[in-house]
Amino acid sequence: MRLLRPAAFLAAAVLLVVLLASALSLGGYDVSNALRAMIRGALGSRDALLSFTLVRSIPLMLTGLAVAVAFRGGVLNIGAEGQLIAGATGAAAVALHGEATFGRLLLPVALLGAALSGAAWTVVPAWLRRRFGILEVISTIMMNFLAVNLVSFLVRGPMQEPSRIYPQSLSLAESVRLPVIISDSRLHAGLVIALLAALLLWILETRSVVGFRVRAVGANPLAARSAGRVDAAALSSWVFLLSGAIAGLAGGVEVSGVTFALYENVSAGYGYTAIAVALLGGLRPLWIIPSALFFGALEAGATAMQRDAAVPAGFVAFIEAVIILAVLSWQAVAPRVDARIRRLAPATPTVGGT
């Protein structure tokens, strides 16, 4: 069973190459030229690896963790995109208006504001789920659209830069920007934050009573309530808030580490790709790390492929969708395959047995 997750990554990589080559060939593009451009854009140089692949992986890692936490707790949070945008907005608001109040603590306070904003964006869906039984799949998607339009209003109104030329906020001061951790690159301390978040969630999930209860509620809330005396509804609400906080932190990291301002389309669809990241990682915090790196390389390579080989980015979006479907299919089939292998495996003889 330990080999299943590495095998899943290998299968995803092979599936990616086969499908992408087939799609490019059908579209009339030069397959070898496009694939070379993709590899160069993701891994072909120090700058490609550090400034593009790894930087793209950071928000995917955090939003992937957010989705994984929710799914493990039985909450189908599809709103990581909106929660990321809410977090970016909260971080920008604190960073632009809180210097006089927080001084040198402005950066951590801005990131805290991002996390709180992301959590706040889950309050309505969590309440609707608990009070009226409304599916969070629907309500969180609606909140995504609300976040996009709210940011559009803010950067064209109350938060727009003073000249009123560009639909964005003022740029963040140097003191509120995450430090670069490798010189001559764009790789910032957000990577450290994402890795620490994965480690802390792994400890919480595997080494704490709370983590066990979350897994129990996600597996069977009725059994957790009756046998374990767990308040499944309350725990699900807390899981919802934690998921939103992590996604919101991703937005704060993106604003303070990459964009340095709030503007429309501040997220490149990270919250949606996070679903694929979480599923390919098996909803396990530590496996989210290589999964995010895989999709970060894919997106960085897609940008280079579009620039150098004139291949539309929609090709890669199609491949990502196919990978999601393949992972979901595998998760549905894997338990049956495992059960069949166990039935066919010869029984281990006991000591003294014949």
Angle formed at CA 328 by CA 277 and CA 124, multiple of 5 degrees: 65
Closest C-alpha to 111, from 256, 217, 208: 256
Task: Give the mean pLDDT of 164-175.
Answer: 92
Is the pLDDT at 318 greater than 50? The verdict is yes
Task: Give the mean pLDDT of 221-229.
Answer: 83
Return the percentage of the chain with pLDDT > 90, whole number. 60
Confidence band (pLDDT; 50, 70, 90) for 346?
A: low
Is the pLDDT at 3 greater than 60? The verdict is no
Q: What is the pLDDT of residue 354?
A: 44
Q: What is the pLDDT of residue 155?
A: 94
pLDDT tens, 34-93?
Answer: 888 888 989 989 999 999 999 999 999 999 999 999 999 999 999 999 999 999 999 999
Domain boundaries, the chain: 56-336
The helix (H) or strand (E) run that includes residue 153 is: helix 136-155
Burial class (CB in 10 A: 0-12, 13-18, 19+), 350: exposed
Q: Which of 47-56, 159-168, 222-231 has the lowest mean pLDDT?
A: 222-231
Q: What is the pLDDT of residue 4?
A: 60
Mean pLDDT of the chain: 88
Q: Where is pLDDT greater, at 227 or 39?
A: 39
Tokens linked to 79 = 């709103």
Confidence band (pLDDT; 50, 70, 90) for 240?
A: very high
Distance from C-alpha of 93 to C-alpha of 102, rounded to nearest angstrom: 13
Tokens linked to 170 = 């003022």
The pTM assigned to this predicted structure is 0.89
Task: Give the mean pLDDT of 197-201.
Answer: 97
Q: Where is pLDDT greater, at 242 or 231?
A: 242
How many CB atoms are located within 10 Å of the residue 254 CB?
28
Angle formed at CA 79 by CA 251 and CA 243, multiple of 5 degrees: 70
**56-336, CATH topology level:** ABC transporter involved in vitamin B12 uptake, BtuC (1.10.3470)
Q: What is the pLDDT of residue 55?
A: 96
Distance from C-alpha of 135 to C-alpha of 139, rounded to nearest angstrom: 7
Q: Where is pLDDT greater, at 61 or 322?
A: 61
Task: Give the mean pLDDT of 294-304.
Answer: 88
Is the pLDDT at 348 greater than 60? The verdict is no
> What string of H, E and C letters represents the secondary structure of 163-178?
CCCCCECCCCCHHHCC
Task: Give the mean pLDDT of 125-143.
Answer: 94
Q: What is the dihedral of CA 174, 177, 179, 180, to 10 degrees?
A: -100
Q: Which of 155-159, 284-288, 336-340 has the lowest mean pLDDT?
A: 336-340
